Structure 1
Amino acid sequence: MCFREPAVQPLVAEPIRTPRLDLLPLRVEHAEEMAAVLSDPALHTFVGGAPHSPAALRTRYRRLVAGSPDPDVSWCNWVLRPREEERLVGTVQATVTRRHTAEIAWVVGTPWQGRGFASEAARALVAELGRSVGTIVAHIHPGHLASAAVAAAAGLAPTDEEQDGEQRWRLVLPGPAGRIVGL
Structure 2
Amino acid sequence: MSGETAGTADGARAEKSRTEATRAETIRAEPIPTARLELVPLEVGHAEEMVGVLGDPALHRFIGGAPEGLEELRARYARWEGGAPEAGTSWCNWVVRERDGGRLVGTVQATVAGGVAEVAWVVGTARQGRGYAREAAGALVGWLRPRVRGVVAHVHPGHAASAAVARAAGLVPTGEVLDGEVRWEFPG
With normalisation by structure 1, the TM-score equals 0.89
Question: Percent identity, aligned pairs only?
Answer: 59
Higher RCO (CA 8 Å, separation ≥ 6 residues): 1
The corresponding residue for 1:83 is 99
Note if 1:116 corresponds to 2:149. no
Q: Decide whether aligned partners of structure 1 residues 17 and 6 sit closer, same or farther in structure 2, where only a CA change above 3 A counts.
A: farther
The corresponding residue for 2:159 is 144
* C-alpha distance in structure 1 between counterparts of 2:156 and 2:127, whole Å: 21
Q: Point out 4+ residue stretches in structure 1 off by more than 6 angstroms.
A: none
Secondary structure in structure 1 of the residue aligned to 2:51: helix
Deviations 1:30-55 (A, max 9, x none): 00100000000001001110000011
RMSD of Structure 2 on Structure 1 (CA): 1.2
* C-alpha distance in structure 2 between counterparts of 1:25 and 1:71, whole Å: 21
For residues 82-101 of structure 1, the aligned pairs below 5 Å read 82-97=98-113, 99-101=114-116
Query: What amino acid sits opposite 1:81 in the alignment?
Result: R
Query: What amino acid sits opposite 2:175 in the alignment?
Result: D
Q: Decide whether aligned partners of structure 1 residues 11 and 171 sit closer, same or farther in structure 2, where only a CA change above 3 A counts.
A: same
Deviations 1:149-173 (A, max 9, x none): 0000000001110100000001035
Query: Which segments of 5 or more consecutive residues in structure 1 lack a partner in the other structure?
Result: 174-183
Query: Which segments of 5 or more consecutive residues in structure 2 lack a partner in the other structure?
Result: 1-20
Note if 1:38 corresponds to 2:44. no
* C-alpha distance in structure 2 between counterparts of 1:153 and 1:6, whole Å: 32
Larger Rg: 2
- Tell me how many residue pairs correspond in the alignment: 168
* C-alpha distance in structure 2 between counterparts of 1:132 and 1:172, whole Å: 16
* C-alpha distance in structure 2 between counterparts of 1:129 and 1:12, whole Å: 11
